[in-house]
Amino acid sequence: MTRGEHGISREDISPNALKVMYRLNGAGFEAYLVGGCVRDILMGHEPKDFDVATNATPEQIKGLFRNCRLIGRRFRLAHIVFGREVIEVATLRGHHSEEAEDETTPKAKATGKRDAHGQLVRDNVFGSIEEDAERRDFTFNAMYYSVADFTVKDFANGLEAIEKREVKLIGDPEVRYREDPVRMLRAVRFAVKLSMSLHPQTAAPIKPLANLLTNIPPARLFEETLKLFLSGKGEKTFMMLREYGLIAPLFPQIQPFLADDSCREMQFILKVLRNTDERINNAQRVTPAFLYAALLWYPLEERCQILQAESGLNAHDAFNIASGEVIGQQTKSIMIPKRFSTVMRDIWVLQQRLPKRFGRRAFQLLTHPKFRAAYDFLLVRGQIEGGELLELAQWWTHFQHAEGGKQKAMLNDLKRSEGSKGPRKRKRRPAKRAPDA
């Protein structure tokens, strides 16, 4: 497509991405803006980042840019750093060959390797722009913009997919999912993000192959779930993941709770996701810890009850053991960094402490660093479960915003209303007098 046909202007492109492409072109290499940024500009959206593809090898790229660092093992990438902005530059990929060849040109068929499931574990195979287009995942991501002649090369009818609003894989969907099972998650994410539907051939193999996600490193799936649920469309994304059987391999502990759309567990998760979407769309801060605490709350409650019934543990010990077990089990599927798992535990523990409001406890809880997160968590629980839980959440809503005198009055009213439920002070027994000599 010529400039008049696609309408992309250099004003739509990051100045740093333009600098990278101009320098690569000046050194005699091809350079193209590629992938989601081209798609987003054509759809009238503002790209989040800009990726460049070139026929220069990673080492050649590094030789041209002092602000370059090479990353990755599965496929070597160059990151060109401009302050907070990073332009990712990838060498054009080629098709795999059975035997690696010892060549240094971009055409080298080298270090491509698959595992027993057909998944690519090493992918440093360089090739031409045509081969690179065939290797890309979705049709609308195989469009290349050249700053040299201002054309867009559309190798897989990506513009047609945009017009039909369909997410369509390039090549045989089953083969492509086996190469990289994360493509199933990406298909769902793009469908929700771009308000598209999955092409029937793209959708058909997802349920049968969903279990392949268990072969993906947990650390990578953590990053992917952040993209899924912290995009501002987490609720719709969750429902689509569930529709295609992708919740079970990601969160095996919550799958048994999601049989019914109207059950409290499902409503709780959707409410938290809805609130998270609102915060993100209003440019408010969110933390993955809160989301993960919500997703795993009912498995935690169930495990705690089982430990108490089977082992005779008290509620406090059972809760602590269950917390560790639930987080430990989840990290087998999705790694949760300690900075988030620690906050999850704080939110959970405070659910046990928030009902205990007598004496100085209520004031001490207000000063806890994670009080606000725990209160928000309690509020959603109350809205879903109602009853005493909702009354407790409403009490904390009033208490935290009341003035000092009003807070003391609320505590006195609470003590009178609950009577014997409050903790009683033990009367000190009088000391025994020594017998008279």
Q: Which of 12, 51, 132, 154 is catalytic?
A: 51
pTM of the full predicted structure? 0.84
Residue 201, domain member (yes or no): no
3-state secondary structure (DSSP) of residue 82: strand
Q: Is the residue at 20 inside a domain?
A: yes
229 token code pair: 């649920």
Q: What are phi and psi of 408, to 5 degrees?
A: -65, -40
Q: Is position 137 annotated as part of the catalytic site?
A: yes
85: domain CATH number is 3.30.460.10
Which sign does the torsion angle of CA 244, 324, 222, 233 carry?
A: positive
Q: Is 49 a catalytic residue?
A: yes
Q: Find the domain containing 148 and state its range.
A: 1-164
Active-site hit among 12, 123, 137, 154: 137
- The DSSP line for 298-358 is HHHHHHHHHHHHHH---HHHHHHHHHHHHHHHHTTTS---HHHHHHHHHHHHHHHHTT--T
51 is catalytic: yes
Q: How far apart are CA 378 and CA 19, in angstroms?
A: 50
Measured CA distances, 131 to 96, 106, 126, 127 (Å): 10, 12, 9, 6
Residue 393 lies inside a defined structural domain of this protein? no
Helix (H) or strand (E) holding 151: none
Q: How many domains does the chain have?
A: 1
**Residue 367 within any structural domain of the chain:** no
Q: Is residue 82 part of a domain?
A: yes
The tens-digit pLDDT sequence of the chain (437 residues) is 877 778 888 999 999 999 999 999 999 999 999 999 999 999 999 998 999 999 999 999 999 999 999 998 777 899 999 999 999 999 999 876 544 444 444 444 444 455 655 565 555 688 899 999 998 999 999 999 999 999 999 999 999 999 999 999 999 999 999 999 999 999 999 999 999 999 999 999 999 999 999 999 999 999 999 999 999 999 999 999 999 999 999 999 999 999 888 899 999 999 999 999 999 999 999 999 999 999 999 999 999 999 999 988 999 999 999 999 999 999 999 999 999 999 999 999 999 999 998 888 999 999 999 999 999 999 999 999 999 999 999 999 999 999 878 999 999 888 887 764 445 555 555 555 555 54
